Chains A and B, each alone.
Chain A
Amino acid sequence: MRWAAAMRGRSSAARRKVKAARLYSYPHIANLKAIKRVRKCTVLARSGHRGVSGGLGSVIRIVLQRLGFGLLTLLIVSMVIFGAVNLLPGDFAQAVLGQSATPEAVAAIRTQLGLDQPLPIRYVAWLRDAARGDLGVSFAQANFASFTGRVDPSATVLAQIAPRFANTMFLAGVTAVIAVPLAVGLGILAALWRDTAFDKGANIATLSSISSPEFFLAYILILLLAVVNPVLPSLSNIFPGMSFGERLERTLLPALTLTLVVTAHMMRMTRAAILNLMAQPYIEMARLKGMRPFRVIWRHALPNALAPIVNVVALNLAYLVTGVVVVEVVFVYPGIGQLFVDSVKLRDIPVVQACCLIFAAAYILLNLTADILSIVSNPRLRHPK
């Protein structure tokens, strides 16, 4: 409530701006568009989606509309990805041939891979295949000396990415299961006990964890939980055929590291979203009915604060899917982030493109889900007049 107090008397627009600046000044949230969306949704939730006539029909219409926009965004993003990846300096033929790159050999490989075709034609072909689920063949895995057009099944991009992506999703899932309830719970308690030692402690702890570099947090956790008290393995090299329990045990350390990274943002948003409502007349009414402080927050504030909270949770989950390379490297965790970085180094364009597309899809899908959830959480839309 410190800054809320400091802002009393300012205009609501200025207040929103200051709040946005505070809430979003976190290193891993560089996605300005998503931030705008959070703000828009907060505003929408507050204004109660006025102007929308409401009803189940209209909810479905809005959801379909958003899905359409999501697909359109994905299409545009795919163009950007394709263009950007092809702007990378150097090319695969150069990279793979290294010292022995005679102009003839380079040209031969380029012809084989279709790299000599103009960009738009390659894009359309790629998009057509991608829409059918065929993301192409990994350059790095294909054997060019005997390239005959027949493809080794393990060399397809899909075969390369699928297991890695599954691992990433597993890590993100474990982290989410720990971090989301923890962050929202801490946020609620911080709002309940605002300006107490608990509130300040939680704020300082989460802020310091988010301000430290991820690898640093990772090594501290390794030191504490793997070296000094050897309760967890420091390496997370999981492989197919492992039992679920074993997988979970090995994933726990990176998951805890990521939890430390994402908790602060979600917690602070939960706290702020709840406190933002505490001056509402219906909150005062609940108090004047003699309701306990926890009930006032849980039953009267939280349901109205869901939209902004859901949006921040979605942003952080998207980060877990797309941005965890450093943690994967520290724990030698075979996720998609490492594959992505390796592929960029090798100029393995099909894999890079596919990874980018997956990241974009994850971002869009999670934000879409958040949008839809915050719309659905609005009783004005679920129950029209």
Chain B
Amino acid sequence: MTPLLEIRDLWIEGRSDEEWHPIVEGVDLTLGRGEVLGLIGESGAGKSTLGLAAMGYARDGVRISGGSVRFDGMDLLRASTEQKRSLLGRRIAYVAQSAAASFNPAHKLIDQHVEAPVRHGIRDRGESVADAVELYEKLRLPDPDRIGFRYPHQVSGGQLQRMMTAMAMSCRPDLIIFDEPTTALDVTTQIEVLAAIRDIVDQFGTSAIYITHDLAVVAQMADRIKVLLSGREVETAPTREMLTHPREEYTKSLWAVRGFHRPEKPAPAPGDTPILSVEGVTAAYGRQTVLEEISFDIHPGRTVAVVGESGSGKSTTARVITGLLPPRSGTVRFEGEALPAGYRQRGKDQLRQIQMIYQMADTALNPRQSVAQIIGRPVRFYRGLRGRALRARVDELMEQIELDPATFRDRLPGELSGGQKQRVGIARALAAEPRLIICDEVTSALDQIVAEGILRLLARLQDELGLSYMFITHDLATVKAIADEVVVMQSGRVIEQGAKTAMFTPPHHPYTDLLLSSVPEMDPDWLDRLLAERGVEGLGEAATDRM
């Protein structure tokens, strides 16, 4: 029998600066019927581009320049637009990374769901709606009869992601491309979506290409794994074989990333003044209370990780500490002295002591300013350096973040990679010579290898400069790697806090336990085991909890 999808020697180019650069260079890919192929690699490796090319589709500014993509015998690169259109949605479907952005905000979910079957003439509207309800039920969505009649903004992220999977299933396609479907979700939500996707793909015998940068996730989902690096294939092997015996150095390095582990520093002497104390802080946006009676301390030279799902109040806590959001009640003390609530009332020196690094280095850097300007601004503002002294200090900072001043001084953020941008963000925070740096999900948008580099850099800077970190993250692997203490937050409250080793040793608070057990492991049987332990019912409850 011929394979369902056969890609031979595929070349894809992308346009930037009026020139065409290769994105995918001569990749082969074969997918059997009912098979799930995992596609992994760092961002920029060409995973998504390759996934879309498997549908015969190229984004604006991207062109397929050579090779062939044969779907069930038909060469998609030579098929007419009409022929391709009749396949898309009907026989090949796509599940995108951000369900919130991929559903049209102007229409009800059900109308978007039935669009493909109705327009392709597979079912009429009534049948499609009935079928949608059935799919929603299969995907364990709450209230399957009515959830479709909501608008996208009325449904949570994890539910939307399952609804998009349902939508992809609406025409019972032969092939579904899953493009990082759980990357934007919390670990606890991720499990529900992974389980739902795997069940339904199994049930209908659908073939799938599962694109992700998370090895542990792909281990649960795929029969075979293909590793990509800068548009070229590194190796392909069945999942278990790949996990146990990776052949190539690059693959091994991917596997080794989770190895970074910083020993916990000895506990501070009792009676030491913490560098930062958050005392009974309650804060609200309008009438909606988002923080309730938050208290924790950060001691000099230590890293406190604040963990929790999105919406648990982690970033709001940072906003209160920096004075961006004055709290309803409670105080923030810096070295024992109460800080004014709003940043406008704080003095220059108080502002200087606490700096921030943000999740999206892309949007946190002014795209029109060069690296030297970005780093130089706080140096001038806080230390008043000018001219040669300023230049020397900027160079020094750039060396600290391991960027060569000669090469990078005059680059714009657009000319830097994600990891380099984040390094510039770190240098900008360092320029103020702070005592405490708040790191808000600084590695979440980065690949594992790059993220590890950033974590190592932060650890080194802490040792050299005696910095304290408040590290906001939802990724427990990061916590394991660098934290000394952990604060677990849920719905605006601190539910558990303590030293890292204590937190990772049972018994845990039930919520901490849920968080910890939800972190995917590099074991293909992990998801099965976990689902068996929790039971499907438990999963359903978890889903309704977060509605």
Contact = CB atoms under 8 A, between A and B. Distances in A.
A285 B94 contact: yes
Interface string A6-40: 00111100100000000000000000000000000
A284 B59 contact: yes
Contact of A289 (B60, B89, B154): B89
A385 B155 CA distance: 8
A380 B57 contact: no
B368 A11 contact: yes
A133 interface: no
Given A11-B368, A284-B96, A303-B107, A289 B116 contact: yes
A300 B261 CA distance: 48
Interface string A36-47: 000000000000
B475 to A, nearest CB: 24
A290 B154 contact: no
Contacts of B55: 288
Interface in B323-351: none
A282 B111 CA distance: 13
A279 B60 CA distance: 8
A290 B153 contact: no
A15 to B, nearest CB: 10
Nearest to B17: A9
A171 B12 CA distance: 56
B104 interface: yes
Contact of A379 (B119, B153, B286): B153
Contacts of B119: 289-291, 295
Contacts of A98: none
Nearest to A303: B106
Interface string B65-79: 000000000000000
Contacts of A51: 285-286
A289 B104 contact: no
B115 interface: yes
A48 interface: yes
A44 to B, nearest CB: 14
Interface stretch (B80-88, B390-398, B512-520, B521-529): B80-88
B367 A11 contact: yes
A11 B367 CA distance: 6
B90 interface: yes
Contacts of B120: 290
Interface string B297-339: 0000000000000000000000000000000000000000000
B116 A9 contact: no
A287 interface: yes
A281 interface: yes
A286 B104 contact: yes
Residue among A284, A289, A379 with most chain B CB within 10 A: A289
Nearest to B90: A290
Contacts of B286: 51, 53
A383 B55 CA distance: 35
A304 interface: yes
B246 to A, nearest CB: 33
B90 A281 contact: no
B151 interface: yes
Contacts of B59: 284
Nearest to B366: A11
B88 A290 contact: yes
Nearest to A45: B105
B101 A291 contact: no
Contacts, number: 88
B94 A48 contact: no
A290 B106 contact: no
Contact of A291 (B89, B105, B150, B367): B89
Contacts of B44: none
Interface string B111-142: 00001100110000000000000000000000
Contacts of B106: 300, 303-304, 379
A281 B106 CA distance: 14
Contact of B105 (A48, A278, A290): A48
Category for how many chain B residues contact A: 35 or more
B490 interface: no
A288 B101 contact: no
B102 A14 contact: no
Residue among A10, A285, A287 with most chain B CB within 10 A: A285
A281 B96 contact: yes
Contacts of B236: none
A286 B93 CA distance: 11
Nearest to A283: B104
Given A11-B368, A290-B119, A282 B101 contact: yes
Contacts of A148: none
Nearest to A280: B101
B102 to A, nearest CB: 4
A379 B61 CA distance: 32
B87 A285 contact: no
A132 interface: no
B414 interface: yes
Contacts of B85: 290-292
A287 B88 contact: yes
Contact of B103 (A14, A282, A287, A384): A282
Nearest to B101: A281
Residue among A48, A51, A282 with most chain B CB within 10 A: A282
Contacts of A279: 60
A285 B170 CA distance: 14
A379 B105 contact: yes
Given A11-B368, A282-B102, A303-B106, A383 B89 contact: no
A280 B90 CA distance: 22
A48 B102 CA distance: 15
Given A48-B153, A285-B96, A303-B106, A290 B87 contact: yes
A288 to B, nearest CB: 4
A280 B101 CA distance: 7
B368 A289 contact: no
Given A11-B367, A14-B368, A385-B154, A287 B104 contact: no
B460 to A, nearest CB: 32
A288 B107 contact: no
Residue among B59, B151, B285 with most chain A CB within 10 A: B151
Interface in A263-299: 278-282, 284-292, 295, 299
Given A282-B104, A289-B88, A290-B87, A385 B153 contact: yes
A291 B154 contact: no
B105 A304 contact: yes
Contacts of A8: 61
B110 to A, nearest CB: 14
B89 A288 contact: yes
A275 B433 CA distance: 45
B98 interface: yes
Nearest to A383: B151
A290 B55 CA distance: 11
A215 to B, nearest CB: 42
B116 A300 contact: no
A168 to B, nearest CB: 36
Contacts of A280: 101
B400 to A, nearest CB: 27
Interface string B237-278: 000000000000000000000000000000000000000000
Interface of B: 55, 57, 59-61, 84-90, 93-94, 96, 98, 101-107, 115-116, 119-120, 150-151, 153-154, 285-286, 366-368, 414
Given A282-B102, A285-B96, A304-B106, 12 more contacts: A9-B414, A280-B101, A285-B104, A286-B104, A288-B57, A290-B116, A291-B85, A292-B85, A300-B104, A303-B106, A303-B107, A383-B151
Task: Return the 9 tightest CB-CB contacts between A and B, nearest first.
Answer: A290-B88, A289-B89, A303-B106, A290-B89, A281-B101, A288-B94, A281-B102, A282-B104, A11-B367
11 contacts: A53-B286, A281-B102, A282-B105, A284-B96, A285-B104, A289-B94, A291-B85, A295-B119, A300-B104, A303-B106, A304-B105
